[in-house]
Every structure is written in structure tokens, then in C-alpha cells.
Amino acid sequence: MRNLLSIEDLSRQDIERILARASSFAQVSGREIKKVPTLRGRTVINLFYESSTRTSSSFELAAKRLSADLVSIKAQGSSVDKGESLRDTVQTLSAYDPAAIVIRSPYAGAAALVASWTTASVINAGDGKHEHPTQALLDLYTLRARRGDLEGLRVWIVGDVLHSRVARSNILAFTRMGCAVTVCGPPTLIPRDIATLGCEVRFSLDGIEEADVVYALRMQRERMTGSYVPSLREYAARFQIDGRRLAPHQLLMHPGPVNRGVELAAEVIDSPQALIVRQVESGVVVRMAVLYELLAGGLSPLPASRGIRTEPQPA
């Protein structure tokens, strides 16, 4: 495997292999010295055009724990915007002969474009509202660590599904592992064709008691161009997961950052049912496993072709 752009690129077997590798890295993470020499002498570039706390820091730690040389670029506030200028940046960075470029962008399809311009392996760390595959992998890893086999688990994804790349990647990932996925939110925040990804659709929390896992999403206000709910208060009244709505047997997940008091009430965020901190923890070992898979596990980019692709490649 050369790039990780979408969960669609992964078979169940690929996912199993990455999760197993992540478990082996979890053993390394339990040691006092958390580093292995796997990527010594290789360069990883993190290129983030959007805000990030968890994803950027865990990719940094993952690359460092594999002993790679790491360059982290936060493009926020720069004049770099889209299209050609992204291409220029990638061509510039490709001169360092990176083994991998980790890209987060507000534009759907940006990671695939980058992959067509560079010989480095490209990892999609979130492209607009399209996909965020490593988030889905770390969620599978976290849930499996708690619940064991995922086959048959019922997962409800609740909130702003329309603007969420996490929702798209997670519907694909959870269904691939045999879970039954339901998405739930106000009709204005559920994409019309979402059921084609293999999930059920609900427009109210009625029936949420059947879920084994409640996966809450933030309102992605940075991607909203109009008004999708009458008010956050009203949204919270109908869709907030609180101590009344979350039964003791249900697990709670959220990719972060949480807007306390909107999609989640404080009492559930801090409850033992919440896996939110575990998800963050899993981010490092799962991203180590993804870097390993692309750079050390199979075919690596050919050193002879250094950096920039000469021909545009299909994504």
C-alpha cells in the first residue's frame, strides 16, 4: 500500500493488520524509552492547513517514536490557499525527498491531489468533509481494546454528519468490521445519500437505547455556510447526549474537540463510559502502525525518482 487516502482503500484484512501492528507498538509505548529505529534516516512532513491538536500532535509523536526526521508545517495564516499554490508547496517540500507527507486540508480531495504530485507516501489527515481515515482506525482500535470483537456491535453516530469527515470514514470502517451503523441528527445535518454507505438513518434519538456505542460529533461550524439548526440550545435539547440519554451499558466516543454543553453534557464526558481519552491515546500507536504500513511494511517509494512526479497520476 502506498497511500492512505480513504477507508475505501482498505480491506478488512488490511485493517486487521494495521490494528495488530498498533497493538505491538502499544507495548513499545509502555516502556520508558518509547522509540524504535524503524524509520531512522527517513523524513516525514506534516502539512496542516487546518486547526488540529490531536491529529497533528499524535502524528508528530508517531513519527518521532519511529525515529523519523520530522518537519511540521502549519499553513494556517499563510497565503497558501488552494489549487496551484498547494501544488507549489508540495513540490517545494518534495525537494527534501520525504518518505511521507501527512496532509490536512479544508478541501475534499486535497490528499489525493497531493498524492498525484509527489512520490512520497501520502496520508490523509482530514480533507474537508470527505474523509479522516486514521481517526476511523484509531476508533476501531479503541473500541476493540474495550469490547473485543466488533462484529454485530450497534453504533449510533449522532450529530453533524453532513460536515463530518469522521462520520464518513467511520461509517465505512465500522461497517467493514461487521458493526451495524445508524446515523442520527436533524434532517438538515444528514446528507441525503448517506444510506448508500451502508448505514441506517434516524432523525431523532428515539431508539438510541439499542446502541452499544454512541459516537457523538461536534457541530462543524467552520464548514457551515448557512443556518442548519434554529439554535444551539434547541439542538442540544433534542440531540445532546447526557446522563439521562446514555444508559449504563453504553460506551461513548467522540473524536474531539468536544463542545461541552452542546453535543455532550459534562457528566457523560467525564464518566467511565467515555472512551474519549482512550481515543487520543490510541492515536499515537495507530498512526505509528499506519506509517509503518506505508513506509516499512511493503513497497516503499523508489528512491530513484526523488520527490516530484513528472506526470500527473490518477488519484
Q: Which is nearer to ligand NCD, 91 or 107 (CB)?
A: 107
Residue of 98, 255, 301, 307 interacting with ligand NCD (CB under 6 A): 255
Q: Which residue has the cell 446515523?
A: 183
Under the binding rule (CB under 6 A), the answer on residue 166 touching ligand NCD is yes
Under the binding rule (CB under 6 A), the answer on residue 130 touching ligand NCD is no
Minimum Å gap between C-beta 73 and ligand NCD is 17
Under the binding rule (CB under 6 A), the answer on residue 168 touching ligand NCD is no
Minimum Å gap between C-beta 132 and ligand NCD is 5
Count the residues in the chain.
315
Measure the CA–CA gap between 241 and 238, rounded to whole angstroms. Answer: 9
Select from 135, 128, 158 the least CA-distant residue to 56: 135
Minimum Å gap between C-beta 233 and ligand NCD is 20
3-class secondary structure for 88-138? HHHHHHHCCCCCEEEEEECCCCHHHHHHHHECCEEEEEEECCCECHHHHHH
Select from 268, 235, 300 the least CA-distant residue to 100: 300
Residue of 3, 6, 46, 55 interacting with ligand NCD (CB under 6 A): 55
Give me the DSSP letters along 179-236: -EEEEES-GGGS-TTGGGGS-EEESSSTTGGG-SEEEE----GGG-SS--SS-HHHHH
Q: Which is nearer to ligand NCD, 144 or 168 (CB)?
A: 168
Pairing of strands 200-202, 180-184: parallel
Minimum Å gap between C-beta 310 and ligand NCD is 33
Under the binding rule (CB under 6 A), the answer on residue 42 touching ligand NCD is no
Q: Which residues, numbered 189-228, are part of the site for ligand NCD (CB under 6 A)?
A: 218, 220
3-state DSSP assignment of residue 48: strand
Measure the CA–CA gap between 213 and 141, rounded to whole angstroms. Answer: 14
Under the binding rule (CB under 6 A), the answer on residue 106 touching ligand NCD is no
SS3 content of the chain, % helix, strand, coil (to 5): 40, 15, 40
Number of residues in contact with ligand NCD under rule CB under 6 A: 11
Residue of 7, 66, 101, 126 interacting with ligand NCD (CB under 6 A): 126
Contacts of 126 (CB under 8 A, 6+ apart): 50, 52, 55, 104, 105, 132, 135, 165
Site string for ligand NCD, 134-163 (x = CB under 6 A): -x----------------------------
Taking each helix axis as running N to C, give the angle between helix 54-65 and helix 12-29, from 0 to 180 degrees, rounded to the nearest 10: 70
Residue of 106, 109, 191, 256 interacting with ligand NCD (CB under 6 A): 256
Residue of 17, 54, 74, 202 interacting with ligand NCD (CB under 6 A): 54
Residue of 165, 168, 176, 287 interacting with ligand NCD (CB under 6 A): 165
Under the binding rule (CB under 6 A), the answer on residue 186 touching ligand NCD is no
Under the binding rule (CB under 6 A), the answer on residue 129 touching ligand NCD is no
Footprint of ligand NCD (CB under 6 A):
54-55, 126, 132, 135, 165-166, 218, 220, 255-256
